[in-house]
Amino acid sequence: MDRIIFDTDSAVFNDDAAALAMLARRPDVVDILGVTVVAGNYPVPQGAEHMLHLLELIGADNIPLHLGAHSPLVNSPSRAALQEARWGPVSFKGAFDASGTVLPPHGGRFAGARPRTTGAVPFIIDTIEQYPNEVTLVAMGPMTNVALALQRRPDLAPLVKRLVFMGGNARVPGNVTPAAEFNIWFDPEAAHAVTASAVPQIVMFGLDITNHAPLQRSMFDRIVAADAPLTRLMQHDMGPRFDANPAATYQVWDCITAAWLIDPTIVTVSERLPIAVETTFGPTYGGTSVGIPSTAPTLDVMLDLDVEKFFSLYEGLLTRR
Ligand code: RIB
Ligand code: CA
């Protein structure tokens, strides 16, 4: 049984919420000790409402949710604007572009469960202390919360069982700039600090692997045909794009990380590679690349998967009642 902390930058459904639902539906394999929210796709207050709603919808609102870092260590909206002015567009800036208004989730009603009063960073610290060598940190968004916890308590890094993160791009282009993937771009300094930390094992699910498994309309249609509370949320969130363009696809990024935690045999190719995070403010800010072993930390980089096996797990878990 893996004890995990699910650190998330949220999404309405795709993909953080779907990943959390998948994991919450396998309590025989994964014990979710808490959900910690970080700024990324959404600002923290809005992201927290999405995740609380999701937890309520799947009957898992006993899992505590903790609010985390509202902004990255260094990156900021003004820095992003400067980057765009100097070196070209950043195609998605997530929370940097959001208004301060917190909207109710799908259904128009805020969830009954509220965030715990303990913040994400003290929660992460306390949990590692409580379960030394047992906690898997699952980072599905920018790594700000994890970086702050390890910055405050570097002695705890060797006591983490492992860090598993969605982010980066070793040998393929980025998805927000030609060089960078969103989670790493949003907080490169955090990713740099965390990947260079003394956490014993770090597993990277970057675009190299996630690009292989886009969600197609046929699979989407099969899932939403289940017409359950969770699949109705999926329909609400993801249906309009398929309605507008039946040939559209969705990347399901974080769900691949979640699937691996449930069944590691979905990954067919991985390598131990030195991964360098670019923290110099320039056109490749936030990029990750295969670096020089003596200077870059060595990570377990996941590169390819059994797409059919993955989608069978994804469909089975999301349609489960
Ligand atoms: O680049 C994809 C990642 O950015 C995913 O984790 C998505 O949810 C966003 O956080
Ligand atoms: Ca995410």
Any residues with CB less than 8 A from the CB of 59 and at least 6 apart, and which?
A: none
Nearest CA owner, ligand 1 atom 1: 182
Ligand nearest to the CA of 8: 2
pLDDT on residue 293 = 82
| Residues with pLDDT less than 70, the chain | none
Q: In angstroms, how far apart are the furthest CA atoms of the chain?
A: 53
Whole-angstrom Cα distance, residue 191 to residue 182?
12
CB 45 within 8 A of CB 74: no
Q: Can you spell out the DSSP letters for 107-136?
A: TS---SS---SS-HHHHHHHHHHHSTTTEE
So what's the pLDDT on residue 144? 99
Cα 285 to averaged position of ligand 2 atoms, centre (Å) = 19
Q: Ligand 1 centroid vs 219 CA: distance in angstroms?
A: 21
253 Cβ inside 6 Å of ligand 1:
yes
Can you read off the two tokens belonging to residue 254? 């974080």
Short-list 90, 182, 77, 104, CA closest to 139: 182
In sequence order, the 6+-apart residues with CB closer than 8 A to the CB of 306 are: 265, 266, 267, 268
pLDDT at 1 (0 to 100): 87
Q: Ligand 1: which of 16, 183, 184, 251 to mutate, most ligand atoms within 8 Å of CB?
A: 183
Task: Count other C-beta atoms under 10 Å from residue 46's C-beta.
Answer: 22
Please give the number of the atom of ligand 1 that sits closest to the Cα of 253: 5
| Predicted local confidence at residue 294, as pLDDT | 83
| Residue 292 confidence (pLDDT) | 84
Q: Is 183 in the pocket of ligand 1 (CB under 6 A)?
A: yes
Q: Which CATH number describes the domain made up of 2-318?
A: 3.90.245.10
Does any ligand 1 atom lie closer than 6 A to the CB of residue 181?
Answer: yes
Coil/strand/helix, residue 167: coil
Rg, C-alpha atoms of the chain: 18
The predicted pLDDT at position 223 comes to 97
- pLDDT score at 12: 78
Tell me the pTM.
Answer: 0.98
235 lines ligand 1 (CB under 6 A): no
CA pair distance 50, 75, nearest whole angstrom:
24
Instruction: Name which of 302, 185, 312, 175 is nearest 250 in CA terms.
Output: 175
- For residue 252, the ligand closest to its alpha carbon is 1
DSSP letter for 154, please. G
Contact predicate 215/307, CB 8 Å: no
Do residues 118 and 125 lie in contact, with contact meaning Cβ atoms separated by under 8 Å? no
Tell me the C-alpha distance between 82 and 195, whole Å.
26
Domain range annotation of the chain: 2-318
Q: How far is the CA of 21 from the centre of ligand 2 (A)?
A: 13
Query: Per-residue pLDDT tens for 296-320?
Result: 999 999 999 999 999 999 999 999 9
- Looking at all shown ligands, the one closest to residue 184's CA atom is 1
Residue identified by tokens 């046929």 is 218
